[in-house]
Structure 1
């Protein structure tokens, strides 16, 4: 059963997310968040002792929810872990989350000192693990020079393209994702059909890593939960 204090924490995070998108990190005060939820400022501090911890919890929750979407996709179809499918699916779910998009684009005005979250480090480690598993199981070409750099640059271009120029703003998101999938498939994956056993092995390995990531995030979100015993 969900606890009323946990529900209140989620309401605080919801309000913080809306205010963050509207005003930016520097301008949002705990007062504004409390007012939006209809509670006193002291109640917000019961959950998080300062603004930075509150917004870190918000980004952890965003990342956990996004990762859960990816996990559900892999459970429904293990072939979702093939680089072209995984990368284009992540592109789509990320674009549906304005907070994650802003974090990815390093929007300093919006995030202030939160730009360098530990989340980034975890995601970089996960990306390394993903590439390593793909190479070990022959799902990615071994002959691409500087594979990590090439993959990341190819992918990032799709995230940053619109902010560089308005020229392609009219292309629907699904078509952009399809173009990204085509690029990754043709440039980075071996020709022919992937080995189903390799796909199953990587899906298993990656799901385990993603589940551990989500559970770490979920614990971190409510780390200062007032329902927990002190200590």
Structure 2
């Protein structure tokens, strides 16, 4: 009797309380149907030029800083074309050629070319950034072109990934790439973007506080016009 009881205790300790299990009906979810998915002949990201190519008779032009190209929300390229997965910027910044190569090589290592594809949603570096040598005096004109960048606004889609795959398969390396960007970015799916848009609309619709940032700025409460910038009058504190 003691041996049987001890054997039952050991069995319960290893296998839990419900040791006697019987086979039953199992309901497995149906596989996901991938419809209207385009296939590309070259599914990998293409190599982008480090320096834009100008005609032989044109000197490469120099530009001002143009910080307005990084400020505010992106109004055009802010949606996923293939309605699947991608990386979006949460703030403004600049992308150099090294960042383009990091994204291209990181995705190429993990991409299954038989079932998946990736496309760029940003152009190659085109804005020139000038720089003077170390120890030079003030004056002497604008410095020489040091490198080229691509300005990014908040909400801009940087790269898209799609095909017969789920978000769990691509989210790991997309999040790893987003963390390495010099600006805030995140990996998203089409469902996540729809949920964020719906949540923002819900918060604005259900807000019962009449003193919103837009109301305060438009009515100059506490004389805020004295220290607000023109961008605050345009976007009401949403973007720097």
| TM-score with structure 1 setting the length | 0.26
Larger of the two Rg values belongs to structure: 2
Query: Which has the bigger relative contact order, CA under 8 A and spacing at least 6?
Result: 1
More helix, by proportion? 1
| TM-score with structure 2 setting the length | 0.25
